[in-house]
Chains A and B, each alone.
Chain A
């Protein structure tokens, strides 16, 4: 690991001023940053440790019925907050399907939004990567790319965003609260992450020094609690990133879909909100034909970026499965294997 200056500012303005200097990086849980530093993928000259900044580790209910989650709340603490899991079950399920218990105890809400891609060429400093070194080329194109993007990719970058947490969040219209040199501002999560285009090194809406201070869920997000699921297929049963995942939430009344939310993970450089599919669902009968049409709409613009055409069909099926599971009802208790389509919910066992 390269040498760096370590500072632990006492206030948010001090943190922002320090991190606005070139070569700076914020440190919170450290689970992704230290991994990247050990691999030589990133070598900050200055670490600004924000892990003890006051008032960023609270979960607050807002007067308008929304929820404000401080950026330093640990993933495990949020997922195991009983009131949170009851109101936003698919978010808790996504959180618990990500990483391991040790990592979830350290990783933070703000850091989760900023975790870097798991593209193996990004991680291999001997490979060309436009995200790591602007203009270097992309070794993933034409490389081992069966797990790469099928939506929103460009010839400059075909990497995917690895977060589980962000997928239900984007479906529920989450908003990122950011403090910077110009004060505080709100950016929707849908607009927070950027598609690669010609500038894959730029991954989000943050400017130098900008600090994520909270993530907000609007009041309406809790209205989906009864019919919401997050499903994730991965290459082993547990502790793996998504090959494809889907967050599906419905409000069904008299067999008709009154409200619908759908987002996909593992398919693009950002958590992918499937608005055209939501339009198909809205007002339609809640049945398998509707769900299949919605899945077709969600993947209509998909194209393989390499050996990954299978992900398009896989994503279609996971969308149908997630919508079917959501319609069946949110499980009363989180499954033993969160987000697994094979977990021991009656009727969903792989060995039954």
Chain B
């Protein structure tokens, strides 16, 4: 099959690309666009290391064909910070020692952003654990991540209140 033209907005930048239909969004990000923060772990939708936000929702980019997402708005870990200023979720992960190794952490942070946007977890640690259960790592740090999510939500809510005021 010949390549097909697609357009993707990735971290606010528009990309016009020709892709083989077999290429997943994950492989496109990593191999074509050098956005290697999104990791290829299991490559089968089980570990969550490849989590990105597509049109604001977290998905496993390993199970997404790039052609099928023509026109989508994609946010990867590279687009989360504002320049040198970390996103509150990133800062909270550092503050609460929520880091796994570099392999799983980007997916954990992207998944956390999705979880907060979905608004389903609130301040319930059990709901946060369940909400992040699509990100699996054998290196632990899960406890720190729950604390980081709680703090990041608080920081983001404060920022929202400041904006509203």
Contacts and interface: CB of A to CB of B under 8 A. Distances in A.
Given A31-B60, A102-B134, A106-B64, A6 B4 contact: yes
- Secondary structure call for the A interface: loop
A118 to B, nearest CB: 12
B118 A103 contact: no
Interface residues of A, number: 32
A105 interface: yes
A106 B60 contact: yes
A239 interface: yes
Given A6-B4, A336-B124, A336-B126, A101 B65 contact: no
Given A31-B60, A101-B134, A336-B127, A3 B1 contact: yes
B51 interface: yes
A239 B67 contact: no
B74 interface: no
Interface string B26-66: 00000000000000000111001001000001111011110
A103 B135 CA distance: 11
B133 A238 contact: yes
Contacts of A39: 44
Contacts of A1: 22
A105 B45 CA distance: 12
Interface string B16-29: 00000110100000
16 contacts: A4-B22, A5-B1, A8-B68, A27-B68, A30-B63, A34-B45, A34-B62, A35-B44, A35-B63, A51-B68, A101-B58, A101-B114, A103-B45, A239-B133, A336-B126, A336-B127
Interface of B: 1, 4, 21-22, 24, 43-45, 48, 51, 57-60, 62-65, 67-68, 111, 114-115, 118, 120, 124, 126-127, 129-136
Interface of A: 1, 3-6, 8, 27, 30-31, 34-35, 38-39, 47, 49, 51, 76, 80, 99-103, 105-106, 238-239, 336-338, 343-344
